[in-house]
Structure 1
Amino acid sequence: MREVAFLRKNADKWKEFEQLLKDKSFDNPDKLAELYIELNADLAYAQANYPGSKTEQYLNQLSVMVHDEIYRSKKEDTNRLITFWTQELPRLFASKQKELLYSLIVFSVAIGIGILSSANDPSFVRYIMGDAYVNMTISNIDEGDPLAVYKKAEELDMFFAITINNIRVSFYAFVSGLLTSIGVGLVLLNNGVMVGAFLHFFAKYGLIGEALRVIFIHGTLELSAIVIAGAAGFVVGNGFLFPGTLSRKESFIKAGREGLKMIVGLVPVFVAAGLLESFVTRYTQMPLWLSLIIILGSLAFVIYYFVILPLKLKHQDERL
């Protein structure tokens, strides 16, 4: 079908859709779902037959408007909070697996850089972590309690300080996306190099096993959240660099909303990591089996909630 004929055939229907969206008193979720399905069918046809055309761009924008209306109800359901965590957020992460992978790769490479730099330059760890921290840790090692730093602060004060700092770091990674993906890469590089230098420092004293067992009680969630925050930053940066069929401004705004939603989804993870670091990590002599239960349980949660569940919901949606 020629594009002009396609427009004539469907123009009245699309205008009707626009009027429904402008009607503030319209509140019919089932009807909106039908519109969304029908619009996506028209959009798929336009993408296949008129790629890059104004028709494709118009349908894409209209489809986004219907999608946003579906998820923005004036009368919030009592289970809205539940569906956000069990449905909406995992579905968002299902579409951001590529950004998650990029963030993980950059962070892992940065850790490797930190390890190699520390191995080749003994002063590197002091440059990265500061003389005060290094001297204190060496003193703790000499006294036979290398991870005593986790025992010195009062639990509740430590929890608030750590949690606020972790949330700040995640928002910093997100905001760095405003400087395009390069800014996010620099944030991940900085944090990854610090982790690598830290690990090599303990390995040099033959304490890497103990350090990993103790630190990853909270570090599993904390480091995973940094990677996910980096992915949110990549979403924002890529939204500006690669707008696709949307205008650059529209793509950037849409990506900003998605990235911010990903960051909000991390807040409970940072709270849990703060609780573990403040109240549990200080027990450095806990049995190995208990440490492993916490570490592996945290890792299983991260993999399931941010990878397995999103992909499972995505496959379910594709079958509908």
Structure 2
Amino acid sequence: MTVASTLTEKAFTERRKPEWEALDALTNEAQRRGIKKLEPDAVLRMSPLYRSVCADLAAAQAARYSAPLVDYLLGLTAAAHTVVYGPHARGREDGRKGRIRQAWLVAFPRAVRRFKREMLLAAALFFVPFALGCVLTLRDPSFAFRVVPEAMLRPLTEAYAKGFDAGREAGDGAFMAGFYVYNNVGIALRCFALGIFGGLGSAFYLVQNGLSIGAILGYVASQGAGENIVVFIVGHGSLELGAIVLAGGSGLSIGWSLVAPGELPRLVSLQRRAREILVVVAGAAVMLFMAAAIEAFWSGSSAPREVKVAVGGTLFVLVLAYVLFAGRTQDGDLEASGDDSPEEPS
């Protein structure tokens, strides 16, 4: 970015910042107390402020201002849109149920797409080592012992070699569900929380877990139980591995807000990014709980392999379609409603 454009951006920010802060304050208060508890004057101010900030977003995108500024305006307009045009503005759609529906159908998938660069980087940091660990272990099974303790690999191999024709008892399934939740949430939490170190902690845990899981898969396959472990994983893998990637991508985003805060103080940049990314972290947590239930009660069941593969493939397609398309409108992720949303810059 040239010096001239930087100065233009600074002038633009200084001129428009009071309205951004006003909308931000009203949005936060409405989210905390509910829009019906706001003063009438405050409610009347929100719609014009929202339209004005949408116009600022369009101008910032057209002028190719810095990513932190555009991201901030995107987050502000998305949050304000939920308040102004969300469930509570249409009779609340049964209150809490409407807000939950709004979060799942709109806010979560939009937030994932909004931070797509971080999510794609997290996917690469996880799945490239995953593939590498699997291939290297298939070529040389002893490679797995450098990544995963041998004391863990051998019992796993024996368990998968037995197969799942006998299924599991209901009590065993409930116990394993609790274990999977504990284990997977712990992994995802580390992938997210350690992003505070400039994103390096998240990157490390993504690479480590990708390499470890790939090595486990490769080792079990090298011992003749590859089909069993693949059939076991396919049922819940899209939710479990997807959630770990989303948690890691959220951690990378947190780290980047500290490394490149733009015009904002680092603490302010961190606070805003944490608020914006929270919906992704919450969604990833729900995905992990769903994956744990499937892993405990379905993946290890005696259902036919063909059925498990079909169910797993269908779930993968549904998860991918949900993340890519849920909450979209004809005008993209910033839902258009007359003049309420900015036009896409050409």
TM-score if structure 2 supplies the norm length? 0.73
Q: Which runs of 5+ in 1 are unaligned?
A: none
Alignment CA distance shift 1:150-1:126 (3 Å)? farther
Mapping 1:90-239, distance limit 5 Å: 90-119=109-138, 121-140=140-159, 145-146=162-163, 151=168, 154-239=172-257
Are 1:32 and 2:46 matched, yes or no?
Answer: yes
Give the distance between the partners of 2:317 and 2:226, measured in 1 at CA: 23
Any idea what SS the aligned residue of 1:315 has?
A: coil
CA contact under 8 A between 2:299 and 2:308: conserved in structure 1? no
Any idea what SS the aligned residue of 2:303 has?
A: coil
CA contact under 8 A between 1:103 and 1:231: conserved in structure 2? yes
Q: How far does residue 208 in structure 1 lie from its aligned partner after superposition?
A: 2.3
Are 1:308 and 2:329 matched, yes or no?
Answer: no
Give the distance between the partners of 1:216 and 1:249, measured in 2 at CA: 41
Aligned length: 306
Q: Is the deviation greater in 198-207 or in 14-23? A: 14-23
Q: Is the deviation greater in 32-41 or in 223-232? A: 32-41
Alignment CA distance shift 1:295-1:201 (3 Å)? same
Are 1:88 and 2:107 matched, yes or no?
Answer: yes
Are 1:292 and 2:309 matched, yes or no?
Answer: yes
Q: How far does residue 251 in structure 1 lie from its aligned partner after superposition?
A: 1.7
The structure with the larger Rg is 1
Q: What is the aligned partner in structure 1 of residue 3 from structure 2? A: none
Q: How far does residue 231 in structure 1 lie from its aligned partner after superposition?
A: 1.3
Any idea what SS the aligned residue of 2:162 has?
A: coil
CA contact under 8 A between 1:94 and 1:310: conserved in structure 2? no
Give the distance between the partners of 1:260 and 1:115, measured in 2 at CA: 32
Give the distance between the partners of 1:26 and 1:197, measured in 2 at CA: 59
Give the distance between the partners of 1:208 and 1:158, measured in 2 at CA: 22
Alignment CA distance shift 1:313-1:243 (3 Å)? farther
Q: Is the deviation greater in 209-218 or in 219-228? A: 209-218
Q: How far does residue 264 in structure 1 lie from its aligned partner after superposition?
A: 0.6
Q: Which runs of 5+ in 2 are unaligned?
A: 1-7, 31-36, 338-346
AA of the residue aligned to 2:315: S
Alignment CA distance shift 1:136-1:108 (3 Å)? same
Give the distance between the partners of 1:314 and 1:273, measured in 2 at CA: 33
Alignment CA distance shift 1:94-1:31 (3 Å)? farther
Q: What is the aligned partner in structure 2 of residue 317 from structure 1? A: 334
Give the distance between the partners of 1:150 and 1:30, measured in 2 at CA: 60
Give the distance between the partners of 2:303 and 2:48, measured in 1 at CA: 56
Give the distance between the partners of 1:244 and 1:149, measured in 2 at CA: 58
Mapping 1:229-268, distance limit 5 Å: 229-268=247-286
Q: How far does residue 301 in structure 1 lie from its aligned partner after superposition?
A: 2.3
